[in-house]
Amino acid sequence: MDQNAVKEAAAYVREKLADTPAVGLILGSGLGVLAEEINNPVTIPYQDIPHFPESTVAGHKGQLAAGDLKGKQVIAMQGRFHYYEGYSMKQVTFPVRVMKELGIESIVITNAAGGINEQFNPGDLMLITDHINNMGDNPLLGPNDEALGERFPDMSQVYDATYLQHARDCATKLDITVQEGVYTGNTGPAYETPAEVRMLRTLGGDAVGMSTVPEVITAGHAGMRVLGISCIANMAAGMLDQPLTHTEVIETTEKVRGEFLRLVSEIIRTLPN
């Protein structure tokens, strides 16, 4: 990855912002609405930012939105870059590097995922406690820039324990039930098969999706504190007697949007230092 490209992108974004953001948000399929809670946001289309890839998926807006969210300066990605779109891991995680270059040390990463855990239901929110990288690739492959992070970064605490406890406390306070579990990152774009779902469950996965893992690895490498939240959009293949569709993913995330907004807004409003 070219750090000069990161610096150029960050310089372009910084120029547009009135305030320095403290928290980064990556908003998954159907969850971009959180950015609408930002007061008088500055919006920056991805295509205007030097070196930024462009998003291609329906339901993804493709812009940064920055400003005050519940008293915190945030910068949100409305739509992310997926590996299945054909982007390299370096491209997928480019925005995380830009956020770090902007000075952001805390990042909330969200996604829509399929439920693997049989106790889960569509519409549940799941705090991500850990992940399994099942993508067969890693954004840190290649020469390591020691200025960005270590060659062999520890991932045992990549989901910040303090943030997790904070998210639990916020959920309790708001009377929102949240699940917790391990997110498995698959490449997609094909949804997993029933046999693969059984395999992933045996391996310890609670949910499966096509994102998040690259961004979390990169944020961890960069020393950022990470909170991950999945919206369980459907039950993974073979668990219900029905096929999986992207329409269902969008419909479910729209249904839980209110709860998601309330929870994440409160988490950000009271995010500990």
User: 68 vs 137, which CB is nearer to ligand ADE?
Assistant: 137
Nearer of residues 13 and 244 to ligand ADE, judged by Cβ: 244
Beta carbon of residue 252, minimum distance to ligand ADE (angstroms, whole number): 9
State which of residues 126, 191, 205, 224 lies at the interface with ligand ADE (CB under 6 A): 191
Contacts to ligand ADE from residues 113-172, by CB under 6 A: 113-114
Is 233 a binding residue for ligand ADE by CB under 6 A? The answer is yes
Closest distance of CB 86 from ligand ADE, Å: 17
Min dist. Cβ of residue 203 to ligand ADE (A): 15
Nearer to ligand ADE, 107 or 233 (CB): 233
Residue at 53: amino acid letter: P
**38 is a site residue for ligand ADE (CB under 6 A):** no
Q: Which of 79, 139, 181, 209 binds ligand ADE (CB under 6 A)?
A: 209
Which residue number places its CB atom closest to ligand ADE?
A: 114
Residue 200 burial (CB count, 10 A): 22
- Does position 32 interact with ligand ADE (CB under 6 A)? The reply is no
- Sole binder of ligand ADE in the list 35, 128, 170, 249 (CB under 6 A): 249
User: Minimum CB separation from ligand ADE for residue 140, in Å?
Assistant: 23
Known catalytic residues are 29, 60, 82, 84-85, 112, 210-211, 234, 246
Residue with tokens 């907004």: 261
Transcribe the chain into DSSP letters. Answer: --HHHHHHHHHHHHHH-SS---EEEEE-TT-GGGGGGSEEEEEEEGGGSTT-----STT---EEEEEEETTEEEEEEES---GGGT--HHHHTHHHHHHHHTT--EEEEEEEEEE-STT--TT-EEEEEEEEE-SS--TT-SS--TTT--SS---TT-B-HHHHHHHHHHHHHHT--EEEEEEEE---SSPPPHHHHHHHHHHT-SEEESSSHHHHHHHHHTT-EEEEEEEEEEEPTTSSSS---HHHHHHHHHHHHHHHHHHHHHHHHT---
**Which of 224, 228, 234, 259 is in the footprint of ligand ADE by CB under 6 A?**
234
Binding site for ligand ADE (CB under 6 A): 112-114, 191-192, 208-210, 233-234, 236, 244, 249
